[in-house]
Amino acid sequence: MAVARTRSVALVGVAGRTVEVEADVGNGLAGIHLIGLPDTALSEARDRVRSAMVNSNYPWPDARIIVSLFPASLPKRGSQFDLAIAVAILGAAGVVPAERIAEPFFLGELGLDGRIRAVRGVLPSVLGAARHGDVTVVVPSANSAEAVLVPDVRVVPVADLRQLVEWLRKGDAPPEPEVEGYADPPKTTCAPGIDLADVVGQPVARRALEVCAAGGHNLWMLGPPGTGKTMLAERLPTLLPSLELDHALEVTAIHSVAGVLPPNAPMLSRPPFVSPHHTATSAAIIGGGSTVVRPGAVSLAHRGVLFMDEAPEFPRHVLDALRQPLESGRATVSRSAGSVTFPARFMLVLAANPCPCSQAEDQGETCKCSPTIRRRYLGRLSGPLLDRIDMKVTVNRSSRRELLADRQFVETSATVAERVLVARERAAKRLAGTQWRSNAEIPSSVLHADFRPPDEAMQPMTACLDTGSLTARGLDRVVRVAWTLADLADKDTPGQDETNAALGFWLGVR
């Protein structure tokens, strides 16, 4: 009778929770039993572990083996527990010293030949392990670049089971990761080939992008095809500062769970740009999945930009489902086995054509849509959704003369990003000591209590509230944008100029 214990990590959303893995090898009918809510993937783990051990020339104990994973209440999905299960059995069978495996965390999937395969969610798993203080985490070699992003953790990359067993037996220095930790990125960097200076003839939309970037606001662009709506949206990230370390870790953790991190330079230090197609499923946009819950586009766009082109073409239930993350900064996916919440604080950019036939119009045909059809088409964007869009602009085709006139006013992304950075730092200073860093994040209650512009600045909104063209929620959006305009203008508080301009952006598309 021999028992060995080790540790691994289970993921709940993007939070890593410690799982104790215990193996008991003893008398009884030969066979292996897994305890602790194993799903299908865990049952398959049993077969992978056995093949990997046998094919690596370690004896499979001819005994009764009980492996338990606890707490049993944690959902343990996926293949990342293979390594901990194998190591616990090897410890209980006396192949490796049991005391050597008690402290480290083990993450990884086993191939039938004993190879250790990469798994999803290594960054959040290592972050979860790091909460125990000074820890060692054994990870698949292919995931080591991601694991070393977590400070103050000893990362041991392993390629196969034999290499791991040798290390555990000899107790010598672990294999060193061949990758470096995180280096601070430059404050602003622009993607090559994408620059705001490319967009000529749309001065109002360019200004709107700058304001959105400075305050973290949402934007709606209405206009016919070919007017540069997509070009404009793609350039919004180039105006944003690089992510600070805590935000970069959040964003990288989400992309890690989704399994979409680049292998060699995994830290995502630039705000993401995510542009789902209108035919994408609700699970792809909001989050979901049949066995493992994956973050959707709203979470992949966390701390960045979610662009929905041809917004009225998205299914109504998808558009309605955006309201929750827009309000709370989180997306909750409800499942029979409980709900999972992912971070989802993004800037939403919607683009819409004025009518359903705009594509045809672009090909030389004239629009035959009646005002009713046009109204119904844009009506697919519900009032409650548009209430959460801070700024709305109409993007029209510009004449040759307008293009020539605008050319001298065009600025590069780098120039505008400098102004955005100054405005953001101004807002962050004002919000110091709170959990918020940009104007768009300030909750309504705090906005009313601490950041109410002077009465005279509030005047332009009063009339609109009276006529009903501005809702209470809309008013808060206008005030937030007014603060951003003040930040861009280097003012301590918004005046009537700022609230008027903010109101103009709010009313925007009429």
Q: Which residues bind Zn ion (CB under 5 A)?
A: 355, 357, 367, 369
Using alpha carbons, select from 188, 190, 192, 196 the residue that is nearest to residue 242.
Answer: 188
Report the residue number, 355 or 509, with the smaller CB distance to Zn ion: 355
SS3 420: helix
One-letter identity of residue 167: W
Report the residue number, 50 or 376, with the smaller CB distance to Zn ion: 376
CA atoms of 17 and 66, how far apart (whole Å): 22
SS3 15: strand
Least separation in angstroms between residue 72's CB and Zn ion is 59
CA atoms of 340 and 171, how far apart (whole Å): 40
CA atoms of 306 and 295, how far apart (whole Å): 14
Least separation in angstroms between residue 219's CB and Zn ion is 23
Counting Cβ atoms within 10 Å, is residue 164 exposed (0-12), middle (13-18) or buried (19+)? Answer: buried
Contact 295, 306 (CB under 8 A): no
**Residue carrying structure tokens 């470096």:** 180
Least separation in angstroms between residue 352's CB and Zn ion is 12
Contact 158, 177 (CB under 8 A): no
Report the residue number, 193 or 371, with the smaller CB distance to Zn ion: 371
Residue 71 DSSP one-character state: S
Least separation in angstroms between residue 392's CB and Zn ion is 20
Here the tokens at position 413 are 């992304």
Phi and psi at residue 409, in whole multiples of 5°?
-100, -5
Least separation in angstroms between residue 366's CB and Zn ion is 9
Using alpha carbons, select from 108, 125, 119, 136 the residue that is nearest to residue 52.
Answer: 108
Distant-in-sequence contacts of 291-297, Cβ < 8 A, 24+ apart: 291/39, 291/40, 291/41, 291/77, 292/77, 292/78, 293/13, 293/333, 293/335, 293/340, 294/257, 294/258, 294/259, 295/14, 295/254, 295/257, 295/258, 295/331, 295/342, 295/344, 296/331, 296/333, 296/342
Least separation in angstroms between residue 369's CB and Zn ion is 3
Here the tokens at position 273 are 């740009």
Report the residue number, 373 or 410, with the smaller CB distance to Zn ion: 373
Report the residue number, 162 or 397, with the smaller CB distance to Zn ion: 397
Least separation in angstroms between residue 314's CB and Zn ion is 19
Report the residue number, 360 or 410, with the smaller CB distance to Zn ion: 360
Least separation in angstroms between residue 356's CB and Zn ion is 6
Report the residue number, 372 or 435, with the smaller CB distance to Zn ion: 372
Least separation in angstroms between residue 354's CB and Zn ion is 7
Report the residue number, 367 or 414, with the smaller CB distance to Zn ion: 367
CA atoms of 43 and 32, how far apart (whole Å): 10
Contact 96, 87 (CB under 8 A): yes
Least separation in angstroms between residue 358's CB and Zn ion is 6
Report the residue number, 280 or 357, with the smaller CB distance to Zn ion: 357
Report the residue number, 154 or 376, with the smaller CB distance to Zn ion: 376
